[in-house]
Structure 1
C-alpha cells in the first residue's frame, strides 16, 4: 500500500493548478486533482521499479495493439493501490465529497472497440500485478471509436470527446518524439561503406508520445501504456495565412492529425484504406524507433536485441513492425539482411484473433507501394526469400508456396506476413488454435508446427468482480477469504457451499440487487420500466453477423407471436438486454440493431406483451456500462456459429458474476464447459465440424424454414412489418438468393436454441435452488479464466521472461 499524506498532496494540486482552496473545491475539480495526485504517485512508482529492473539487464516486453479498452482509471487505480477506503473517508470528512460522484464524472477513454482492446488492457493490469515489466503501445485517438446514438433505431456515429476528463491521466513525453515518413522515392547508392538507402522527398509526420500508467494490484510493478499522437512538422504556413488562405495554411496540419483522430476509420473507400494503413505504420514506426533507440543507447549495440527484447503484435494491425524493424536495422544501423532478419524473427511474436477470412487484413499492393515505398521493397524481399525456401522444401512444387505467399491477387496478406516474420503464433482458445492449424494456417503449421501454440484468453477478475460487483466480492471475502484476488483459482473454494441454503439465498439476493441497479439505469436512459423478477437474458458484445444477435431476435419474435396468439402458456417473464456497437460501414449490423430497437418499442408499448417480455437496447456500450451489465446477467448469450468465435471474453465476465451461459460449442465456451461441467451450461447447436460438413453438403436455409412452423411465422412477421417498418430485407438475407442465404446458420440452430431456452426457463421458474447452485458453480469455476493465468502463459511459453520484484 502507498503511504502518503493525501490531503496535503490534493490541496497542493488544487492550489497549484486551479488556485482553489479546499473550501471551494467542486467534484469536477476534485476528480482532476485526485487523478493527478494518483498519476504522479504511479509515475514515481514506475520510475523506481524500472530503475531497479534495468540494473538486472533482463528481457523486457513491448506489446503492440491498435486498441486498449482500459476503462475508467480512478477507481481501478485506487483499488489496485489498496487505498480506496482511505481516499473515500478523506474526501467525505475533509471535503464533503462522495468518491462515487468522482467515478461518475470520469469518461471512458476512447481507445478501443471490443474484446481485442479489453484483452490488451487486462494484460497490462495482470502483468503489473504479477510484477512483469511491460510497455503497451497504441494511438491517442482524439475521438475514439465513436459515440453511438440511435436515431429512430439507426446507429449514428458521433465524436467521442473522452479527453475532456481522461486527459488528466496522460503525461506528454516530448523528449521522446520522433519522425515517421510516408510517400517519397527510394534512392539507392553504393558508397565505400556499402549500399546506402534513403527516402527522398517524404511526407514527414511528428509522433509525440503520451504515457498512461496502468497499476497492478498489490504489486511493485506499474505497466506503461504509451499512446502516439500525430502532428505535422510544418504545422502552419504563415505566407498563405497572410494572403487570406486560412484553410490552406492549416491543411497540412489537419491531414497529419487525421491519422490519430479516430479508431478504425471506415475503409469502404480508397481514402479510408490509406488512412488505416497510415495509422498502422504510424504506430509501428514510432514504436520501433523508440524501442531500438532506447536499446542502443543502453547497450551500445543491437547484437543482443532479441535477447533483451520481446515485441508482441496483437492481431495483424501492427504487422508492419516486422519490415519496419528490418528497415531500421539495415538502413540506419548498417546490419546485413541475414543478421537483421535473425534479430527480427527472434524478437517478434504474434497473436491471431480471428478465423474469418474477411477479417484477415489485406492491403492493395499499390497503396503500400505508393505510401510506404521502402517498406514495400522489404516486404517483397521477405516474400521472395520465404517462397524460395518453401519451394526448396517441396522440391520445386510451387502450389504450397503460392498459398503461403504474402502477395496474392495484387494484395498483401498481413496475417501471412505476421507468421513469416514471427517466432511464435498463438490462438486464444483451444478450439480456435486447432482451427488455425487445420484450416486457414494449415500450410504454415505443416512447415513449422513448433511455431504454433495456444494461450486461452482471460479477464482481470479484480475489475470484473471486486470493482464491478462489490456485493459478491464481500460475500466471497467472508466465505473463502481474499486470497482469490491474487490467486484466482481459490474461487473453487466456493464449491463447498453448494448445498448451503444460506449462501445460495445470499447469492440470489446479490443478483437481485444488481438487477435493480441495471433496471434503474435502464429507466434513466431508455425510459423503460422492466420487471426485476424476470430472467435477465443479456447479449452484450460487438455487433457482428457471426455473433448472431439476429438469432436472439428471431426467438424474441417467435415469443411475441406465441403471446399474441394466446399460446404463451406458463411463460416465465424474460427481459432481453442488448448492448453493441456496429462498425460505421457495416450496413447489415446496423440493420440488426434497428430490428432490435424496433422490437423494443413494439413490445414495451403493448401491455399484453410487456407482461411477459421486455426488450432493451442500451446505447454506447463501454467498459463502464459493462460493469453495470455483467453483475446483473442471469443468462449469458454466447451464441456465435461454432467455429467462428476465436475466444470471447464477455462470456468469462458473465460467468465470473454468476450468470449461466446459453451457448454453442465455440471459442472459450468449450473450455468453460470443461471447467464448470455441461450440467451448469445450456449447450445448443451444431459443432464446428458439423457446420463444416453442412456447408460441404450444401446448406439450404429454405429447407429448415419448410420443416419449422415457428420459423415460417417469424419470417411472415418480418415481412408484414413491425410498427410500420418492414424488415423484408432481413428475410431475404436469411432466405437467400442465387448465392444462398443465412450465412451464419441461424435457421440450422434455431430449434436447438429454442429448446435450450425452454430448459433454462423451466429450471429458473420451478427450481430456483438448482439455478443458484448452477450460478455458484460458474463463479467457482471462473478462476481459470483470469488474465493472470493467461499472461503467465505468454511469459513462460512465448516471451521467456520472469517476474521481478524489488525484494529480488
Structure 2
C-alpha cells in the first residue's frame, strides 16, 4: 500500500490539500487525522469490494452477527497495524513533525457499546476478518452512545457522549440501501388464491439508513462489513404532527439502552430492537435474493446470529418475511428460520432476561405479535402432547405468559443452536436457568467460551511486551496464540524475567502519569497496581473491594506496626443512569479515596483511584500496567468475563472466585498461579435454593465487617449523612444478596497472600510469565473457529 515513509508522506500531503484546500503548515491535528483516516479507508476500498464479490462469486455461506452493541474502540492504529503499514505511516508522519500517537488522540471511541457484550462482538468481527471468514456485523449507529461519565464531588454525572461531533471517518453512508420499517397500525387478513394473506396497514413508517464500516483483517486481503443503522423520518410518512414524529423517530437511534423504567422507555427500546432486526433482515435477504432468487435454500448460504436477547425479534420477523412476502407456508418458513438462526445467552441473572408487556408489544408490532403468539401456541401444544396436564412446565417454558412476551424462550425455540459463553455458565444454563429447555432440546445447547483479540489487547496495547515475545519465540504466535506456551522455557531465565519486569514498570509509569494528569493523584509505581475495571453492578462486587480497602485503612490507623506491601487500588466503571445502588457505590469509592489519599498517616502506602469514563482506549493503558486483576463476582453470577483474559494476557495475576471463565483460567494455569477465594457456584446456588445465610451473623461476629459497615452511616465520612444508607440496607436489611460478608474473610486473607507473593519478585515474575504463556487459549480466533465449525458452518477463504 505504502512501500516506505517517503511514499506515504507524498500521498498524505497531496490528500490533505485535496480534502481541506489548505497547505500542510496551515492544517490542524484534526484535519491531519481526518486525512489519514480517509486515506486508509480509501486504500482498503478495492479489497472491500473484492471481498464482497468473492463471497458472491463463490457463493460462500456468510454469517451476519446481530448485536445491539459493538464496542470498537479507536480504529486508526488498529487498521494501520492490520494493514501492515504502521511503520511506514509513522516514519512518514515523523518526518513531518507529527506524532502518530498524538494524532490518534483525535479519534473518539465509537459510542456503540457499554461493556463485555459489545467488546466481545468487536473482537469477533476482528477474528472473522483476520481468519478470512465471511462474517459481518449488524448494529445501530447511536448518535450519543451510552453516556460520557464525569465524576463531580464523587458522584457520577452523565453527559451526552458526542462521539460523532466531528463525524466518523471510517463510515460510508449508503442512503440508496435505506429501508422502511413499520410500527403501530393494524393487520388486515384476507383469502387470496386459497391462502390466508396478511397486510400491515396504517403503519407509522421510519426510514432505516445504513452506514457501512470496513472490518480489516490482520495481514490478509479480507475486508468484511459492519453495517450500522440509523433511524430517520420517512418521506412517505403522512404525519399530522411532523415535529413530534421527527423527534420520536430520531430518538430510536439516539441513545444506547434508553431508560425503560416507564412505558415510554420500553416502547423506545422495543422500537430500537425491531429497527435493528427488521432493517438487517431486509438488507441480508435483498442481497441474497439478488444473487439466488428464491429464499428456499437460505439456511444453506446464510447464518444469522442473535447476540443475547436484544435481536430475538429476528425469529418472528424472518417468519413474517418468509410467509407474508415470499408466500411460504408455516412449516416451510419455520424450517428455514430454525436452521438459519442461532443464539448466544450472556447471563445467568433472570432479571436480565428481557420481557415485554403485551400491552406494549402487540400494538407497536401487530403482525410480529401475531406470529409470536402462533409460535407460542404451537410450541405449547407440542408440550401438552408430551406432558399432558403439566401446566407448571408449560407456563414456565411459554413465550407469552402473565401478559409478557419472553425473549429468551423465543430465541431458544427459534434457533438451532443455543450457547453459553464459559463452561460453568453453560452448565448453569443447562442445569438451572434453562433446565427445562435443555431437557427438551438436549442437542441444541453447547458451550463457546469467550475470547479476546490478542491483536488489540497485546499487539496494539502492549507493543513492548509483544516485541519481547516475538524476539524470544518468533512471530508465529500472532497467527496462532497457542505458540505463546513456548514462553515457558524462559521461566528460569533471569534476563527474560528482568525484561518482563522492566516492561511492566514502564507501563505503570505511563498509567501513573495519566492518573496524575487526570486525577491529580501521585501514585507509587513500585506499589502493587490492584485493578478492578468493568461495568458497575452489585454482583460484580466492587462493594467487596472497597469495604476491604476501608478495613485496610482502619487497620493502618489502629496498628502502627501493621505491615503490608504498598497498594494502589484502581477502579474504572460506569453505572447505568437509573441504577441507584451502583451510583452509590461509585460515590463510596470516591469518598474512601478522598479520605485515604489525603491522610498523611497512610497515603505513602495506600492510594485509591477512580478513573472516570472507562472506555476501550483507556483500557488499553490500564491492562498492560496492572499487577493484580480483580475478578470477584459472586460465584455463578458472571457468565464469562473478558477483562480477566485481557489482564492475564498482559501478565497480571487474577484474584477471583471460581466463576465464569475464571474456572478455565484456573484449569490452564493451576491453582498455584491464581489467587482464588470465596464460595463456589454450587455453594451459592445451595444458599439461594435452601436458605441458611444470615448476614447479621457475620456482622455481629466479625469486628472488621461490623466496623466498615457502621462507618457507612455513623459519620465516619464527613458530610455524608444518609448517603450510603442504601448500601448499608443492602447488606443487613436485604440480607446481602451477593454474599459480600460471607466472602469477606477469605478475600482479606487472600490479599495478605498476594502481598507476600509480590514481595518475592522472582516468584511473582514466574507466575506472571505463566499466565501470559497460557493466555493464548483465550484468543477470540479460537472462539470464532468453534462458532464457524460447530454452529455457522462457514469456512475461510483467506489470502495472507
TM-score category by the smaller chain? over 0.9
* CA deviation profile, 1:165-201 (whole Å, cap 9, x unmatched): 4511110011111000000000111123622211111
Give the 3 Å change call, closer, same or farther, for CA 72–343 of structure 1 in structure 2. Answer: same
Name the residue aligned to 1:204. Answer: 205
Given candidates 412, 415, 419, the residue that maps to 1:426 is 419
Name the residue aligned to 1:213. Answer: 214
8 Å CA contact 2:132–2:799 kept in 1: the answer is no
8 Å CA contact 1:235–1:250 kept in 2: the answer is no
Given candidates 76, 79, 99, the residue that maps to 1:77 is 79
SS at 1:719 equivalent:
coil
Alignment TM-score, normalising by the size of structure 1: 0.96
Name the residue aligned to 2:117. Answer: 116
8 Å CA contact 1:508–1:772 kept in 2: the answer is yes
Name the residue aligned to 1:453. Answer: 446
Structure 1 Cα separation of the partners of residues 232 and 119 of structure 2: 27
Structure 2 Cα separation of the partners of residues 639 and 270 of structure 1: 35
8 Å CA contact 2:204–2:237 kept in 1: the answer is no
* CA deviation profile, 1:208-258 (whole Å, cap 9, x unmatched): 000111211111212211000101114999x99xxxxxxx65332121000
Structure 2 Cα separation of the partners of residues 471 and 540 of structure 1: 22
Of 157-166 and 643-652, deviating more is 157-166
Of 740-749 and 159-168, deviating more is 159-168
Structure 2 Cα separation of the partners of residues 354 and 318 of structure 1: 15
Name the residue aligned to 1:570. Answer: 563
2:151 pairs with 1:150: yes
1:302 shift after superposition = 0.5
Query: How many residues end up aligned between the 2 structures?
Result: 795
SS at 2:443 equivalent:
helix
1:17 shift after superposition = 2.3
Structure 1 Cα separation of the partners of residues 290 and 362 of structure 2: 32
8 Å CA contact 2:147–2:160 kept in 1: the answer is yes
8 Å CA contact 2:8–2:88 kept in 1: the answer is no
Structure 2 Cα separation of the partners of residues 186 and 789 of structure 1: 46
SS at 1:256 equivalent:
helix
Name the residue aligned to 1:389. Answer: 382
Name the residue aligned to 1:700. Answer: 694
Structure 2 Cα separation of the partners of residues 140 and 621 of structure 1: 20
Name the residue aligned to 1:287. Answer: 280
Structure 1 Cα separation of the partners of residues 169 and 152 of structure 2: 32
RMSD: 1.6
Structure 1 Cα separation of the partners of residues 318 and 73 of structure 2: 31
SS at 2:457 equivalent:
helix
Name the residue aligned to 1:729. Answer: 725
8 Å CA contact 1:53–1:804 kept in 2: the answer is no
Name the residue aligned to 1:244. Answer: none
Structure 1 Cα separation of the partners of residues 730 and 233 of structure 2: 48
8 Å CA contact 2:596–2:607 kept in 1: the answer is yes
* CA deviation profile, 1:681-707 (whole Å, cap 9, x unmatched): 000001001112223133111111122
2:751 pairs with 1:757: yes
8 Å CA contact 1:236–1:249 kept in 2: the answer is no
1:370 shift after superposition = 1.1
8 Å CA contact 1:562–1:568 kept in 2: the answer is no
Give the 3 Å change call, closer, same or farther, for CA 567–223 of structure 1 in structure 2. Answer: farther
Name the residue aligned to 1:19. Answer: 21
1:736 shift after superposition = 3.0
Of 4-13 and 674-683, deviating more is 4-13
SS at 1:412 equivalent:
strand
Of 717-726 and 181-190, deviating more is 717-726
SS at 1:797 equivalent:
helix
8 Å CA contact 1:363–1:411 kept in 2: the answer is yes
Name the residue aligned to 2:64. Answer: 62
2:624 pairs with 1:631: yes
8 Å CA contact 1:267–1:276 kept in 2: the answer is yes
1:401 shift after superposition = 1.7
SS at 1:599 equivalent:
helix
Structure 2 Cα separation of the partners of residues 568 and 322 of structure 1: 64
Aligned counterparts, 1:37-436, within 5 A? 37-93=39-95, 95-165=96-166, 167-192=168-193, 194-234=195-235, 249-436=242-429
Of 463-472 and 713-722, deviating more is 713-722
Structure 2 Cα separation of the partners of residues 484 and 540 of structure 1: 27
Name the residue aligned to 2:739. Answer: 745
1:507 shift after superposition = 1.0
Name the residue aligned to 1:552. Answer: 545
Structure 2 Cα separation of the partners of residues 735 and 91 of structure 1: 56
8 Å CA contact 1:105–1:165 kept in 2: the answer is no
1:105 shift after superposition = 1.1
1:25 shift after superposition = 2.9
Aligned counterparts, 1:606-685, within 5 A? 606-685=599-678
Name the residue aligned to 1:33. Answer: 35
Structure 1 Cα separation of the partners of residues 16 and 166 of structure 2: 16
Given candidates 712, 716, 724, the residue that maps to 2:710 is 716
1:392 shift after superposition = 1.4
Q: 5+ unaligned residues in a row in structure 2: which ranges?
A: none
Give the 3 Å change call, closer, same or farther, for CA 55–621 of structure 1 in structure 2. Answer: same
8 Å CA contact 2:640–2:659 kept in 1: the answer is yes
1:409 shift after superposition = 1.5
Structure 2 Cα separation of the partners of residues 677 and 472 of structure 1: 23
8 Å CA contact 1:125–1:223 kept in 2: the answer is no
8 Å CA contact 1:651–1:669 kept in 2: the answer is yes
Structure 1 Cα separation of the partners of residues 99 and 399 of structure 2: 56
Given candidates 684, 690, 704, the residue that maps to 2:683 is 690
8 Å CA contact 2:312–2:410 kept in 1: the answer is yes
Given candidates 467, 470, 488, the residue that maps to 2:463 is 470
Structure 2 Cα separation of the partners of residues 631 and 754 of structure 1: 25
1:552 shift after superposition = 0.1
SS at 1:718 equivalent:
coil
Structure 2 Cα separation of the partners of residues 763 and 397 of structure 1: 56
Structure 2 Cα separation of the partners of residues 22 and 712 of structure 1: 65
SS at 2:161 equivalent:
coil
Name the residue aligned to 1:245. Answer: none
Alignment TM-score, normalising by the size of structure 2: 0.97
* CA deviation profile, 1:97-116 (whole Å, cap 9, x unmatched): 11111111111000000000
Structure 1 Cα separation of the partners of residues 727 and 535 of structure 2: 22
1:266 shift after superposition = 0.9
8 Å CA contact 1:732–1:741 kept in 2: the answer is no
